[in-house]
Structure 1
Amino acid sequence: MNAHGLSSADGDGGPALFRLVRFWSRRWINSASEDQTGETRHVQHILAVEAVDTGKETTEEATVGTVAHQLGLDHSGASRIVKDATKAGYLVRASSEYDRRRASLQLTAHGENLLAGSRQWQRHAFDELTVGWDDHDRRQFASYLKRLADELGI
């Protein structure tokens, strides 16, 4: 039982959540990457700009460690993604204001455009998935998704 007196089986939200994640995780990112970068192999660029942008909202600055946390990767994996996104012109590295041993990551204008396109694509996907829902249900579902992401710091 949780604080509201419900067991996880009452709404069966856990299995439903993971069915959605499993079904959409590869489909959406490949489609978004092709739409935004022209190639499905550039998925990591979208992941990098999303992680840097989200990381800036939850920490004083985005770093490779922030990207690692946001993407659930080890430091070396995140470092490779950051290096590739920097080489592609989506990110720049600068000296950290807080710790000279770290690099602060920022989006370039090209990265900002990729992020904006990705977010537009995400809103469109949400609208398509909930097209048959009334406005109240769509807003409520969106608020629950945002609440969950905010509480997780992602």
Structure 2
Amino acid sequence: MAKYDEASAEHLLNTVGPAFSKLRRSALLELENPLSTKDLSRTLVLNVVHEAEQDGGREMTVGGIAEHFGNDPSVASRMVSDCIKAGYLRRAASQQDGRRTVLHLTPEGTELMARFRRHQREAYEHVTADWPEQERLDLARLMLKYVESQENLRSRNP
């Protein structure tokens, strides 16, 4: 394990945040057959719905999308409407409360998410192609640990 002097550690911690903000698009757009920038944006919403469905069939609403992104409900509504018009989401009556409308991925939405996941992996492998295998796996493990910690914080501080 590497040891860092105080100045090096301070520099790393000050630059990791800006580095995270660069991750979203760069590599995904450079691959063969990239997703459109519009579909990349749609995957943000689709992923929230997908994760809810994978999380014990939890129901996701437009309000839930707004809460997840910290958006105004009207912004979330426009995002969801765009995904519905594109054929990736559909609205349905809640099975828990028929007065609520919930969101579900369509087969096309499920396929877009599968394609997006493949692109994410290809991008990771492309960017880290000249890294030692152990470093590639270490970064993957640490990123998963970071995201899990972030999710744990979110669930403790609703």
Range class of TM-score, shorter chain: 0.7 to 0.9
CA RMSD across the alignment: 3.1
Q: Deviations over 1:11-55 (max 9, x none)?
A: 6444332222332334356668x723xx43344322221221123
Q: Deviations over 1:71-101 (max 9, x none)?
A: 3423221111111101111011111223334
The 2-side partners of 1:49 and 1:131 are apart by 29
The 2-side partners of 1:76 and 1:121 are apart by 30
Partner of residue 38, structure 2: 41
The 2-side partners of 1:114 and 1:151 are apart by 27
- Of structures 1 and 2, the larger Rg is shown by 2
Q: Which has the higher contact order (CA 8 A, sep 6+)?
A: 2
Percent same amino acid among aligned pairs? 29
Assess, with a 3 A threshold, how the Cα gap between structure 1 residues 68 and 27 changes in structure 2: closer, same or farther: farther
Assess, with a 3 A threshold, how the Cα gap between structure 1 residues 103 and 17 changes in structure 2: closer, same or farther: farther
Q: Does 1:21 align with 2:23?
A: no
Partner of residue 108, structure 1: 106
Q: TM-score scaled to structure 1, two decimals?
A: 0.75
The 1-side partners of 2:30 and 2:67 are apart by 24
Q: TM-score scaled to structure 2, two decimals?
A: 0.73
- Kindly indicate whether the alpha-carbon contact (under 8 Å) linking 2:65 and 2:76 is maintained by their aligned counterparts in 1: yes
User: Structure 1: any 5+ residue segments left out of the alignment?
Assistant: 1-6
Q: Does 1:61 align with 2:43?
A: no
- Kindly indicate whether the alpha-carbon contact (under 8 Å) linking 2:28 and 2:34 is maintained by their aligned counterparts in 1: no
- Kindly indicate whether the alpha-carbon contact (under 8 Å) linking 2:92 and 2:103 is maintained by their aligned counterparts in 1: yes
Partner of residue 138, structure 2: 140
User: Structure 2: any 5+ residue segments left out of the alignment?
Assistant: 1-5
Secondary structure of the 1:81 match is: helix
Q: Does 1:128 align with 2:129?
A: no
